[in-house]
Structure 1
Amino acid sequence: MQGNSMTRRKPRQNSVAPPMYALPSGGGDSNYSGNNQSQSSYNTQSPYSAQPPSYNTQPKRKLGNDNKSMGSSGSFTFPPYIVFLIVVMLSGTIYTFSIYSGANTELKRLQSEKVDQDGRMRNNSRELQRAKHTSRTAKRTLERTKKELDDHIKQIDELEDEHEDVQTEFTQNLENVELDQHKAVEKVSAREVAKCFQREEVFRTRVEDLRHHIQRESRRELVQNFGTGPHRVRLTIIFPDNPQALHIIELEMAPFRLLPHSIYTFMEQVRHGLWDGCSFSKLVDGKLIASPTPATLGTLKEKELKYRFANSKLDIVYFQEYHAKFPHVEMTVGFDGRPGGPDFYINMVCANIFSSRFLKQ
């Protein structure tokens, strides 16, 4: 290239500067030129010198090429392609640094994720180890439980076999016992059977005689103490909601010859004042039941009332008395229970109708 060069030409030291010539006034050789570039022009001595030569003169350093013929200038400038290359290099450097910075950030993020993943992997590994340990423990427990279950099943089978054997033996023994009993019954003579029936008949006769005796004595005591009748009992009733008002219930007894024991027992209870302070406590199956209980339950007086009946030996009748002329119809009175006493009841409805309705339900 013939333009400006990046190198600088060093001036020679201690060299004689070429003399400068000036044209003499008044004309001169037309063929002479101060800018003649031939070598001979520099070596020609002329009496027309404008300045004396100077020696050991240090020339000023100039940027660029000193050769004026090559188009040099006094100021230094970079060519456009150099500037373009510098801009491209700076842009590439900045882009490279930006890519490196982003890559470094991404690398740090990946390293952080790797650390987190390593932590999770370690946690998962520990969890897996614990799960394996738990699984092994559960497996051993399951095997032990299965073994125990097999042992229990085996014991159950053995017990079932023993039960079947015992049941078979029991059935055989029962058959043998029944056979022995049948043989024993066959051995009993007709005379022994007749004796058994005879003893039972004697017992029934004695019970019936005792019953007639109790009725006879009750009839005698009843006539002696209360006369031949008709016998009536008047009850004074007080209701809790109106204690000032008195209500009267009059009970007429059956003829003393028909039901002497029941009538005598009830009359004696009334005569000894055992029903004083008692109450009608409940209504069951159409029967209004009077019992030795006070109006307020759960008190000490309740025990006292029951003790009075038991202490006087009038708490029960010894046997039940019934006569066809006095069925259980509405507004009839009788002892409650079997054989009966001390509670008595008043039939609010016909007992026969109520019983038939109850059986239908």
Structure 2
Amino acid sequence: MLVETELLSEKIMSYQAATNRYQDMVYKRCGNSGLKLPFVSLGLWHNFGDTAPFDTARDMLLRSFDLGITHFDLANNYGPSPGSAETNFGKVLHSDLRQHRDELIISTKAGYHMWDGPYGEWGSRKYLISSLDQSLKRMQLDYVDVFYSHRPDPHTPLEETMGALDSVVRAGKALYVGLSNYNAAETRRAAAILKDLGTPCVLHQPRYSMFDRWTEEDNLHVELGNLGIGCIPYSPLAQGLLTNKYLQGIPSDSRAADGNNPFLNAEQVSADKIAKVQALNAIAQRRGQTMAQLAICWLHRQASVCSVIIGASKVAQIEDIVAAQSHLNLTEGEIKEIEYILG
């Protein structure tokens, strides 16, 4: 056991960040702010909690940084178990990336259920500030770069929720604030309150992909452009559906084959969707890309999109997505063809 501990310690101490990490990465400005993010950011929603191998999670975090990914996105309840993704991230940050803290953008959120009782979820001042304090302890940080309200609270005055975001910035616990899962009308109201308080909203994190286009139907991108807020979509690959994995149906080791997976089930992988992915993949192949790379490029056609949050279970997946930066823009003809396929 002592030998294993010494070997792990030696491995941790041996990390040296790649000197060319900023050479190729594309960085985009978030709305009207001074904040710039890599065109893809790494999300720790899955595969970084207690049930995932720590060494694999560490390898993905460090390889991401070596590739120029400076933004790591978390939330208080990421795991499983809730909070464990922040704890594990804090370990890697403390042991490997501590000297690079000022190069990193670290975000977290609060809004979904985290602990029992009336103050363990939603958007009260009590919950949001308490949650951020807990997140900072788990990650061994004095502050985060971005703190989000993870979802709108229908029972708490929006002024209270936005006031809490303003407070954490003034207390030095966060540099910027953002919204997640707010619709266009809610975003407009929240942004106006934050502007009056003197703490502008810089980022909006919605669910958005080729197969989930509610943000377009809601005119959210137009609203974000008018407000000068950057958009950073999550679930860009529709839980893996917009990859090469489902081209021939449902693999036995996939999320859709897992009857207990709440995010993607066999019913969602319809014959129609598989046919669409196959047609989209033909466009990707013509561009010399994978299906996943094309899906990321398609999101970046929106002027409001400054970065896209990707998930990963292995280093190779991150490397594949990052390679899309060499051919990021779509032609008008390709956009029209994709629109026709998506119907």
TM-score, structure 1 length as denominator?
0.17
Q: Which structure has the bigger radius of gyration?
A: 1
- Select the structure with the greater relative contact order (CA < 8 A; seq sep ≥ 6): 2
Larger relative helix fraction: 1
